[in-house]
């Protein structure tokens, strides 16, 4: 099989987790063509966000502290997961180059005291740049032939909507295929930085928070993979949040429609956009647990017939939502009132989760987040 495996932040977040990832990749690469996509180490993207904010406020002390913390975490993990002295030296040198570039970017932001969406994306891109050096080094150390690539090196091109850039599908597909197919044929495992890409002019962009999943399905579709595996820290997609409901169970199979609905409704298993490219071509997506690789998992695939006995597949909860009901005579037979209400929300950048309107009761109810 050709499998694209995406490892999330906790899966690459420390020594033990990375060792698991190396073992899993080695195990599946023996008899499959494997492509790896990785997130930043957990917490790092948030830390980079903080660093960019401190820099724009010219708070050098906080920036320096964060840079030091990032250096310590990546370098110490590097020593833990790479045994060969030569590889460790090479990997540390790569980490060092990235950290210097990051430092220069933050210095630039603080000189100008201005943080644009474009410069923020550049700063955020370093989480995945750093983690993939570590992961590629560790895989290499375990005797696997790898090539580490950033998202744009892998061929992912986007528009310039920084913070949530949209991939240019056709050229991305073509480039990813052209660049990765020869590596795979040659027995090399591409190790790709998730979340980050670039415009056609090479300006760094990000695909949106949590979007390494999206990178994985984009790559999977381009490479005509048999499956995309999202390795996370829970046993697939569950019937409820196990932290709230201890009796929650793994859902063995879901349709794309069901999984997309769940990801929009706060089941954190996957990035909402990630399933779109897979659903379009019917590329199955499996959600697995790095820390329990032989445990149950969820397979998401084209429409599943409803099986009787389990009509309700899952329960999700949305926290911190409010319901506002607007009612009164003005709602009755007065066209445009609902539009006015929605306009106020748009002007204030408030996201609407659900709308219900009843003309007989002359009210409109909105669930907002």
Q: How far is the CB of 9 from Mg ion (least distance, A)?
A: 7
107-to-65, 99, 299 alpha-carbon distances in Å: 14, 12, 45
| Residues 127 and 41: beta-carbon distance below 8 Å | yes
Binding of residue 167 to ligand ASP (CB under 6 A):
no
Binding of residue 209 to ligand ASP (CB under 6 A):
yes
Nearer to ligand ASP, 127 or 331 (CB): 127
Give strand pairing partners of 363. 327, 358
Q: Which of residues 178-207 bind ligand ASP (CB under 6 A)?
A: 194-195
Binding of residue 13 to Mg ion (CB under 5 A):
no
Nearer to ligand ASP, 210 or 272 (CB): 210
Binding of residue 40 to ligand ASP (CB under 6 A):
yes
Nearer to ligand ASP, 167 or 194 (CB): 194
140-to-26, 81, 134, 189, 291 alpha-carbon distances in Å: 10, 11, 10, 10, 21
Q: Which of residues 201-220 bind Mg ion (CB under 5 A)?
A: 210
Q: How far is the CB of 211 from ligand ASP (least distance, A)?
A: 5
The backbone torsions φ and ψ at residue 212, rounded to the nearest 5 degrees and listed phi first, read -60, -30
Nearer to ligand ASP, 40 or 299 (CB): 40
Binding of residue 236 to Mg ion (CB under 5 A):
no
Q: Which of 20, 39, 132, 175 binds ligand ASP (CB under 6 A)?
A: 39
Q: Which of 13, 127, 190, 272 binds ligand ASP (CB under 6 A)?
A: 127
Binding of residue 151 to Mg ion (CB under 5 A):
no
Nearer to Mg ion, 267 or 364 (CB): 267
| Residues 139 and 22: beta-carbon distance below 8 Å | yes
Q: How far is the CB of 230 from ligand ASP (least distance, A)?
A: 10
Binding of residue 212 to ligand ASP (CB under 6 A):
yes
Nearer to Mg ion, 8 or 272 (CB): 8
Binding of residue 290 to ligand ASP (CB under 6 A):
no
Binding of residue 155 to Mg ion (CB under 5 A):
no
Contact positions vs ligand ASP (CB under 6 A): 9, 39-40, 45, 127, 194-195, 209-212
């Amino acid at each position: 099989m050709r499998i694209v495996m995406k490892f999330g932040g906790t899966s690459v977040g420390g020594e033990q987790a990375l060792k698991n990832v190396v073992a899993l990749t080695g195990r599946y690469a023996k008899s499959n063509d494997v492509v790896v996509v990785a997130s930043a180490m957990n917490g790092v993207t948030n830390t980079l966000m903080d660093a960019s904010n401190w820099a724009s406020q010219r708070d050098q002390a906080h920036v320096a502290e964060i840079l030091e913390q990032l250096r310590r975490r990546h370098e110490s993990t590097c020593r833990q997961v790479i045994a060969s002295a030569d590889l460790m030296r090479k990997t540390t040198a790569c980490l060092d180059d990235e950290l210097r570039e990051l430092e220069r970017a933050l210095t630039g932001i603080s000189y100008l005291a201005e943080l644009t969406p474009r410069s923020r994306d550049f700063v955020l891109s370093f989480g995945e740049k750093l983690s993939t050096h570590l992961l590629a080094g560790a895989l290499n150390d375990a005797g696997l032939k790898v090539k580490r690539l950033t998202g744009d090196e892998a061929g992912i091109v986007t528009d310039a909507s920084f913070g949530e850039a949209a991939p240019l599908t056709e050229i991305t597909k073509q480039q990813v295929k052209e660049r990765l197919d020869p590596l795979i044929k040659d027995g090399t495992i591409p190790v790709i930085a998730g979340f980050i890409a670039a415009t056609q002019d090479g300006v760094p962009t990000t695909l949106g928070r949590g979007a390494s999943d999206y990178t994985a399905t984009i790559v999977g579709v381009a490479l005509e993979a048999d499956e995309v595996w999202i390795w996370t820290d829970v046993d697939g997609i569950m019937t409820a949040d196990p932290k709230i409901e201890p009796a929650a169970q793994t859902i063995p199979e879901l349709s794309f429609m069901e999984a997309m609905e769940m990801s929009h409704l706060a089941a954190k298993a996957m990035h909402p956009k990630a399933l779109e490219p897979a659903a379009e071509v019917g590329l199955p997506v499996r959600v697995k647990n790095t820390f329990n690789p032989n445990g149950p998992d969820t397979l998401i695939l084209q429409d599943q017939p409803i099986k009787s006995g389990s009509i309700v597949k899952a329960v999700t909860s949305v926290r911190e939502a409010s319901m506002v009901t607007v009612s009164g005579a003005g709602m009755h037979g007065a066209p445009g009132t609902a539009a006015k209400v929605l306009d106020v929300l748009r002007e204030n950048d408030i996201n609407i989760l659900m709308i219900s309107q009843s003309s007989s009761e002359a009210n409109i109810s909105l669930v907002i987040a």
